[in-house]
A and B are shown apart, each in its own frame.
Chain A
Amino acid sequence: MSDGTESVRGADVFGGDRPTRSRAVLLVVLGAFWLWLLARWLVEWTGVPVGVPGEPFVDVALVGGPQTPLGVMVGSLPALAVGVYVTVVLTVVSIALGFVLAVPLSVARVYGAVSSYVSLSFTELIRGTPLIAQLFVLYYGLNLSQYFRGLTSFAGVTVDPALWVAVIGFTINSAAYQAEYIRAAIESVDPRQLVAARSVGLDQLDGIRYVVLPQGLRYAIPGWTNELVYLIKYSSLATFITVTELFTAANDVASETFRYTAMFTVVALFYLLLVLTATTIMSTVEDRVAIPGIGGAEGRP
């Protein structure tokens, strides 16, 4: 089993091994996927004349017509591409903001006194309740979307206020999980590293920032990859608060045409490609920032 196999560490999706020779195939497939997406996005929003907005590149009539499953699938591609954009925006913004929130949360948890308990309560509450419930609290309970009525466009796309509420919800949720991963990673750094930093004259905060975090964050990469994959999949829950992301796009087409199996197969494929993109990127990142003896090489702490 261990003959030149490359493991995508920590990406729960793949488990242990992914054979290296399929990596080339994978990169080609992913490359094609993203090229197509970019082309579609350009067509929809910038009038680049390689196609018609709303119309697939391949004529639906050529694959059997708009009534057949294949025809429906191909015909839905432009709508799905728009959905992917929203999904990607949702995922990327939420995980980034979540990270910004998570670092102080985990530092407080590890090094704080009172702030440690506050941080712990927050993460326990968020991680102990379903993401949908959290979205419901924000959208139906607190009715946050009313505050975003004015902000109707983002990066050139007309956007529903619900999207902002979704971002807030995912950010909070992701921050709680990321804080946990980062905490575990910080704690796996030998405490003597911080002692050494203090002995050189760095204060607590600088010691954490320049010595503990650089090591800890590398340990956190596998957990972080998990979180990214999780967000990609659970972004689909935004459909419950009326966000028109990928799942909504597919569901809408499916309920109009009754081609449920076909549409959900296609959308499953889309998610698979998105997940594969994420794990491939993270695995490259992990290799690039690897420091011998820290995190990566042998088993995780």
Chain B
Amino acid sequence: MTSATTSVVLQSSDWAYVLENADILFEGTVETIKLTVLAMVLGFLAGFPAGAAEVYGSPWIRKPVWAAGVGLRATPILVILVFLFFVAPFATSAFVAAVIGLGFRSAAYQAQMFRGALQSVDEGQMEAARSVGMTRFQAIRRVIVPQALRRSIPGFQNEFTIVLKDTSIAIILGISELLGVTEDLFLQSGRSGAALELILAASLVYFVLTVTTNRGIEYLGEVYEIPSGEST
């Protein structure tokens, strides 16, 4: 790494360098967004059934799901990513390894979130549904899940920003996401002085992305809100 005696002062020439490479930063941002969205989708597709399994599944399903969840939640994402990359099938593509690593880690947390949401729906809702003759599955699908999903929105918002920020860790796999391209830029010879400006610019992008997705999901929540709040 560099050991330059860099001036801490934010120089305008350094900012000019940032602007010159705005297109590279943009491409990195696109990669970041791709990683985030794919990982969140995978996280939902794996996490929602896992959460439902932990609530409604038989012990044969619950225990392994819970154990897998603990493993994923207790391991640093950095370790998960490198582990996946070197375990053969995924060694072909760093991007795929990153999506799978970020995705399943998110799935483990989303499972917890959905588990909590499903359990928070009042037992009486299930009883009422069963009392009109619905099967357990129908009751879960048509009465419990719609309410649980709405309750999961704040947690989902939170998880989204976590995944977004964690994509920066994919730098270890050499993926050209935002932080990766930023590092490449300031590691180029003679350009270490622009490191501060570059990293600040990248941080600003992350911040804007975070705020935007938070507001976006909040808006979605309002659209699907149950009128005048939820009872029970």
Interface residues of A (CB under 8 A from B): 12-16, 125, 128-134, 136-137, 140-143, 146, 229, 233-237, 239-240, 242, 247, 251, 260-261, 264-265, 267-268, 271-272, 275-276
Give the complex CA separation of A265 and B79 in angstroms: 9
Quick one: closest B residue to A133, CB to CB? B203
A194 smallest CB distance to B (angstroms): 27
Contacts beyond the supplied A235-B76, A240-B171, A271-B79: 14 A-B pairs with Cβ under 8 Å:
A14-B70, A15-B70, A128-B210, A129-B206, A136-B195, A137-B199, A140-B186, A143-B8, A229-B74, A242-B1, A261-B83, A272-B71, A272-B74, A276-B74
Cβ 8 A contact of B69, one of A15, A128, A242, A261: A15
Give the complex CA separation of A265 and B80 in angstroms: 9
List, sorted by A's number, 5 A–B pairs whose CB atoms are closer than 8 Å. A13-B73, A15-B111, A128-B206, A136-B182, A264-B86
Interface centre among B168, B171, B206 (most CB of A within 10 A): B168
Give the complex CA separation of A128 and B111 in angstroms: 23
Give the complex CA separation of A14 and B168 in angstroms: 26
Any A CB within 8 A of the CB of B77:
yes
Cβ 8 A contact of A236, one of B74, B78, B165: B78
Q: Is A136's CB under 8 angstroms from B210's CB?
A: no
Q: Across the interface, which residues of B come within 8 angstroms of A267, CB to CB?
A: 79
Q: Is B171's CB under 8 angstroms from A132's CB?
A: yes
Q: Across the interface, which residues of A come within 8 angstroms of B77, CB to CB?
A: 233
Quick one: closest A residue to B168, CB to CB? A130
Q: Across the interface, which residues of A come within 8 angstroms of B70, CB to CB?
A: 13-15
Q: Is A15's CB under 8 angstroms from B54's CB?
A: yes
Cβ 8 A contact of A260, one of B82, B109, B195: B82
Cβ 8 A contact of B166, one of A12, A130, A136, A272: A130
Q: Is A141's CB under 8 angstroms from B199's CB?
A: yes
Give the complex CA separation of A275 and B82 in angstroms: 19
Q: Across the interface, which residues of B come within 8 angstroms of A146, CB to CB?
A: 5
Q: Is B8's CB under 8 angstroms from A129's CB?
A: no
Q: Is A15's CB under 8 angstroms from B112's CB?
A: yes
Q: Is A260's CB under 8 angstroms from B86's CB?
A: yes
Interface centre among B5, B82, B161, B192 (most CB of A within 10 A): B82
Q: Across the interface, which residues of A come within 8 angstroms of B2, CB to CB?
A: 140
Quick one: closest B residue to A140, CB to CB? B195
Q: Across the interface, which residues of B come within 8 angstroms of A240, CB to CB?
A: 171-172
Contact with A along B87-121 (1 / 0, CB 8 A): 10000000000000000000001011001000000
Cβ 8 A contact of B168, one of A132, A233, A236: A132
Interface residues of B (CB under 8 A from A): 1-2, 4-6, 8, 54, 66, 69-71, 73-80, 82-83, 86-87, 109, 111-112, 115, 161, 165-166, 168-169, 171-172, 179, 182-183, 186, 192, 195-200, 202-203, 206-207, 210-211
Q: Is B207's CB under 8 angstroms from A125's CB?
A: yes
Cβ 8 A contact of B199, one of A15, A133, A251, A261: A133
B127 smallest CB distance to A (angstroms): 18
Q: Across the interface, which residues of A come within 8 angstroms of B197, CB to CB?
A: 141
A202 smallest CB distance to B (angstroms): 35
Quick one: closest B residue to A262, CB to CB? B86
CB-based closest 8 A-B pairs: A141-B196, A260-B86, A233-B76, A130-B165, A130-B168, A128-B210, A236-B76, A275-B74
Asked, given contacts A128-B161, A129-B207, whether A137 binds B76 with beta carbons under 8 Å apart, the answer is no
Quick one: closest B residue to A125, CB to CB? B207
Q: Across the interface, which residues of A come within 8 angstroms of B76, CB to CB?
A: 233-236, 247, 271
Give the complex CA separation of A16 and B207 in angstroms: 32
Give the complex CA separation of A236 and B71 in angstroms: 16
Q: Is B192's CB under 8 angstroms from A140's CB?
A: yes
Give the complex CA separation of A248 and B164 in angstroms: 24
Q: Is A247's CB under 8 angstroms from B78's CB?
A: yes
Q: Is B112's CB under 8 angstroms from A12's CB?
A: yes
Give the complex CA separation of A65 and B211 in angstroms: 54
Cβ 8 A contact of B83, one of A125, A143, A268: A268
Q: Is A239's CB under 8 angstroms from B78's CB?
A: yes
B172 smallest CB distance to A (angstroms): 8
Give the complex CA separation of A39 and B89 in angstroms: 39
Give the complex CA separation of A240 and B195 in angstroms: 15
